[in-house]
Amino acid sequence: MPEPRSIFSAAESGLGFIYQPRLALLRLLSLPESTSLLIEKSDDLEFDTAGGRKTLASLKHKAEGDRLTDLDVDFWKSVRVWLAYYVDNGRISSNTDFVLFTTAVIAPGSKLTLFAEVDSDPADRAAMAAMLLDRSTSATIGKTKTDLAELTEDELVDFYGRILILDGSPRIDTISQIVLDQHLRTVRRDVRGPLFQRLEGWWMDLMIKVLTGERIGLVYGHEVSDKLSSIAEEYRSDSLPITFRGRMPDGRIDVANDTRLFVEQLRDLDVSPARIQSAIIDYYRAFEQRSSWARENLLISGEMEEYEDRLIEEWGRFRDIIFETLHDASGDDAFRAAGRQLYKWAETETGELRIRERVTEAYVVRGAFQILANARPMPRVHWNPAFMKRLADLLGVAA
C-alpha cells in the first residue's frame, strides 16, 4: 500500500504538468492528422481542425475518487477563461468550442451532467448555470458570474452550448495502455511498449521545445503519424531500432590513458588520436545499443553470437589476404603496416556486414569489431599479429 503523502506534497500538481503533453499526444493520435495543436496559449491545449474550427481544452488531473460538483471552482474558473476568449473572438460568430478534460467524475445528481450530454438543450444549460451561480458564495465563482453578466441572453445560450465536460478522462498512468491498445494495433505486440516509450520521448522533447520557444508554430497530427511510422519501421523483423546515434560517453574521452585492449591495439598501430577517439565512441554506442536491444528483448536467441561469428569469419578471410606475404622474419614495420591495412578495412569497408538487412548504422559494425578486439583474455579479432604474439607471451598462452 503506498505511503500517505505529506500535506505539503506537490505530487498532484506535478502530475498535472506531465498530464498536459501526455493527453495532448493521445488526442492527436485520436483526431484527424490535419489537426494542429498549441499548448499553453489560450488554454492548456488548443486544437485546430483543417476546417478552421478550434477547441480550447482545460485539463484537470484530480486525485482518485474526486467528484465534480455543481459549484466546482475548477470548472467555473475554466468557464471564465473560455468566456474571455469568446468575448475577444467574435462571440456568436466565434469558431471555437470549449472542453474540460477531468479525471474526476461528475457527482451523482449534479446539474453539470447537462454539460456532459452532447445533445442537451443550450437554453436549459444557461438556465441551470444561472441558478447555480446565484447559489454560490465563492469569490472566485463570483468573478465568473460578473463576467457572464456582460453577455446577452442569446450569447449566453450560444456560449453554454459550446461547452463539453469529458469527465472520467484517462488518468496519466492509463494513457500509455490506451495508446498501445487503440493506436498501435498494426505493430507487433512484443515491441509496442518500447515503441511507445520512444514515441513519447520524442514527443516530450518536442513539447519542451515548444514551451521554451525553440520550436515556433503549430504542431500537427501528421507529425506524430510520421514519427510513429518511422519508429515502427525500425521494429520490423529485418530491422532493429537505432537509438544511440549521436550519443557520447559520459565524461571526457581520455585517449592517452585508456587501457582497454581495443585501444591498446590501435595505439600499437600508431593510428592518430582522432581515429582512436572515434573507435572509443563506436565501442560505446555499439555496446549501449546491444544492451538496449537486450533489455527490450528484440534479439532472437543466439542472434548476436551468430553475428559476431560472421564478422570474425569475414575478418579472418581478409586477414589471411593481408598477412599472406608476412613471415617470422618480417620486421615490426611490415607487421604494423599490414595491421593498419586490416584495421582500415574494418573501419571503412564492412558496411555490408549487417546484423539485419535494414540495420545500416555504421557504428553497429565498427563498434562490433572494437568489442571483439576488446575480448579478454585474448581478443577475438586483432590487427597487428606481432602485438598478439607479445600479448600471448605476456599471458603465457598460444597466439
Report pLDDT digits (tens) over 260-309: 999 999 999 999 999 999 999 999 999 999 999 999 999 999 999 999 99
Q: How many domains does the chain have?
A: 2
Report yes or no on 265 lying in a domain. yes
Tell me, what's the pLDDT at 111?
Answer: 94
Q: Are residues 225 and 351 in the same domain?
A: no
Q: Are residues 153 and 210 in the same domain?
A: yes
Q: Are residues 227 and 265 in the same domain?
A: no
Q: Are residues 16 and 154 in the same domain?
A: yes
Is 243 a residue whose pLDDT tops 70?
A: yes
Q: In what order do the strands lie in the sheet with 36-39?
A: 163-166, 96-102, 54-60, 45-48, 36-39, 219-220
* Residue located via cell numbers 576488446: 374
Report yes or no on 346 lying in a domain. yes
Q: Are residues 85 and 25 in the same domain?
A: yes
Report pLDDT digits (tens) over 52-96: 899 999 999 999 999 999 999 999 999 999 999 999 999 999 999
Tell me, what's the pLDDT at 389?
Answer: 81
Is 11 a residue whose pLDDT tops 80?
A: no
Tell me, what's the pLDDT at 187?
Answer: 87
Report yes or no on 246 lying in a domain. no
Q: Are residues 146 and 280 in the same domain?
A: no
Among 231, 246, 270, give the residue marking a domain's end: 231
Q: Are residues 265 and 226 in the same domain?
A: no
Report pLDDT digits (tens) over 371-388: 999 998 899 999 998 888
φ and ψ at residue 105, rounded to 5 degrees: -110, 140
The residue with greater pLDDT, 26 or 10, is 26
Tell me, what's the pLDDT at 190?
Answer: 86
Tell me, what's the pLDDT at 284?
Answer: 98
Q: Mean of the pLDDT values across residues 147-154?
A: 94
Q: Are residues 329 and 370 in the same domain?
A: yes
For residue 290, what are the domain limits?
Answer: 261-395
Among 215, 231, 247, give the residue marking a domain's end: 231
Report yes or no on 390 lying in a domain. yes
Is 316 a residue whose pLDDT tops 90?
A: yes
Tell me, what's the pLDDT at 9?
Answer: 45
Is 333 a residue whose pLDDT tops 60?
A: yes
Tell me, what's the pLDDT at 332?
Answer: 86
Report pLDDT digits (tens) over 191-239: 899 999 999 999 999 999 999 999 998 999 999 999 999 999 999 999 9
Report yes or no on 5 lying in a domain. no
Q: Are residues 49 and 94 in the same domain?
A: yes
Q: Are residues 224 and 364 in the same domain?
A: no
Among 231, 253, 280, give the residue marking a domain's end: 231
Q: Mean of the pLDDT values across residues 19-46?
A: 95
Report yes or no on 118 lying in a domain. yes
Q: Are residues 268 and 188 in the same domain?
A: no
Tell me, what's the pLDDT at 8?
Answer: 44
Stated pTM of the model: 0.79
Q: What percent of the chain has pLDDT over 70?
A: 94
Tell me, what's the pLDDT at 327?
Answer: 83
Report pLDDT digits (tens) over 106-125: 999 999 999 999 999 999 99
Report yes or no on 238 lying in a domain. no
Report yes or no on 255 lying in a domain. no
Tell me, what's the pLDDT at 396?
Answer: 56
Q: Are residues 53 and 132 in the same domain?
A: yes
